[in-house]
Amino acid sequence: MTGADLGRRAAQAGEAALAGVDRAALPGFMRRLDEAALLAMAATLHGAGAFVDGRAHTTDQVADLLRVAVRHRWILRRWLTVLTREGWLRHDDDTGRHHHLRPASRADLAAATRDLDAARAGLGYPAAMTRFFTTSAEHLPELLRDEIPLQALLFADDDLATAEAAYKDNVINGYLNAVAGRVLGDLAGRRRGPEPLRVLELGAGVGGTTADVLPALADRPVVYQFTDVSRFFLEAARERFAGYGFLRYGLFDINADVLRQGVPAGSQDVLLAANVAHNAVDVTRLLGGLRDLLAADGVLLLIESCREHHQIATSMQFLMSARPGVPAAGSADLRASTDRIFLTREQWLTQLTAAGFTPMLCLPTVDDPLAALGQHVFVAGR
Ligand SMILES: C[S@@+](CC[C@H](N)C(=O)[O-])C[C@H]1O[C@@H](n2cnc3c(N)ncnc32)[C@H](O)[C@@H]1O
């Protein structure tokens, strides 16, 4: 099978996962989610008494008013940047002060929550997702002050359903995972000889992507290592995927030396990293290390958010702050000093190429309405 065949078949699998979805409506739904998050940010700032009577503040003054925990201050900085960029807030470059934040009332918030539910349904997220976004929005002051951890909202009652909804049960992840599953299935299918396909999944977490790709590998000779930096996810996965005898479980930290974690250099046929690579302190270093782990004809499969979703800035980003009392590692790559988490699609393609990979596939294509959702799957050869 040629690379072109692989790409064509992967795109077909993605299309099949979109059956019945009105893709032209997706950018509009995304915009509504974004607007609701901007409103939640603005309401939080107004609620703390910021910007009353036309007052102007520096970023530090806003942080003090809201009593933002040191480890979460980068989130507030992102909010102010995003609100300014989206025309909700004005910024005076000469004084470094922000001013004139658009009003955001409780009634606006209630309307936005209703909109959120419509947008959520349109994007194929289950109702648990609106509950999570709404609960996060309601708790933003406490989250910023670090009085409650986001995990308490995301994993309420040790339930993984909401997190799974974020990474699996929705239009875009259904599409991306279908593409990834087809690529993995085809790579397993085209192997000659008895040697199994060796797959290492990084940051497998709640297993949203794993669950979608495993069926494509069933009945094939495969060894699949399910790894994460957190042991918490390994036990749940062991139970959940007990039916797949070819799975192995282990810890793996993408920020530690990848060659010193029990996986020999050149030993893997496929590396799968879904929604985890942006956690690298230095993506250049990570990509170089991942290339070392791959066999000569190995393939890296990356799923990444390539734009900053405002909904994420009012929810999931609280998981990305340094641990309490630990100095922020900060980014050591092209994101250094930007407070940005995600690389753009073009940045990933450039980084992959610079690390020596050959990009083979990147879906959805830029002209596809799906691209407005900002998530992409990249397939790159070693
Ligand atoms: C956004 S979740 C994605 C989960 C899963 N891959 C999916 O798409 O369904 C990110 C995962 O990356 C893991 N993670 C965070 N930092 C990591 C690191 N340094 N090394 C490996 N995994 C990490 C987290 O524990 C979490 O499970």
The predicted structure's pLDDT at residue 44: 95
Atom of ligand 1 nearest to the CA of 316: 1
Tell me, using a 6 A CB cutoff, whether residue 162 lines ligand 1. no
Atom of ligand 1 nearest to the CA of 208: 9
Instruction: Name the fold adopted by 170-307+342-381.
Output: Rossmann fold (3.40.50)
DSSP class per residue in 1-42? --HHHHHHHHHHHHHHHTTT--GGGHHHHHHHHHHHHHHHHH
Atom of ligand 1 nearest to the CA of 254: 20
68 contacts 144 by C-beta, under 8 angstroms = yes
The predicted structure's pLDDT at residue 369: 93
Determine the distance separating the centroid of ligand 1 and the alpha carbon of 94, expressed in angstroms: 40
Tell me, using a 6 A CB cutoff, whether residue 228 lines ligand 1. yes
37 contacts 310 by C-beta, under 8 angstroms = yes
Which among 257, 301, 250 is positioned nearest to 280, based on CA atoms? 257
344 contacts 362 by C-beta, under 8 angstroms = no
The predicted structure's pLDDT at residue 328: 67
For residue 293, the 8-state DSSP code is H
Q: Where are the beta strands (DSSP E) in 203-356?
A: 222-228, 247-251, 268-274, 294-305
For 124, list phi and psi in degrees, rounded to 5: 80, 15
Tell me, using a 6 A CB cutoff, whether residue 365 lines ligand 1. no
Tell me, using a 6 A CB cutoff, whether residue 13 lines ligand 1. no
Tell me, using a 6 A CB cutoff, whether residue 374 lines ligand 1. no
Low-confidence ranges of the chain (pLDDT < 70): 1, 157-159, 165-168, 325-329
339 contacts 77 by C-beta, under 8 angstroms = yes
Determine the distance separating the centroid of ligand 1 and the alpha carbon of 17, expressed in angstroms: 24
Residues 6+ apart with CB under 8 A from 9: 182, 186
Composition of the chain by helix, strand, coil, percent to 5: 50, 15, 35
Determine the distance separating the centroid of ligand 1 and the alpha carbon of 204, expressed in angstroms: 6
Atom of ligand 1 nearest to the CA of 173: 8
Among 233, 254, 276, which is best to mutate for testing ligand 1, by the most ligand atoms less than 8 A from CB? Answer: 276
Q: Where are the beta strands (DSSP E) in the chain?
A: 90-92, 97-99, 197-202, 222-228, 247-251, 268-274, 294-305, 358-363, 375-381
Which residue ranges does the chain devote to CATH 3.40.50.150? Answer: 170-307+342-381
Tell me, using a 6 A CB cutoff, whether residue 331 lines ligand 1. no
Atom of ligand 1 nearest to the CA of 273: 6
The predicted structure's pLDDT at residue 325: 67
Tell me, using a 6 A CB cutoff, whether residue 167 lines ligand 1. yes
Nearest CA, atom 16, ligand 1 = 279
Instruction: Give the H or E element holding residue 365.
Output: none
Tell me, using a 6 A CB cutoff, whether residue 317 lines ligand 1. no
Give pLDDT tens digits for 73-129.
Answer: 999 999 999 999 999 999 999 999 999 999 998 788 888 888 888 888 888 877 888
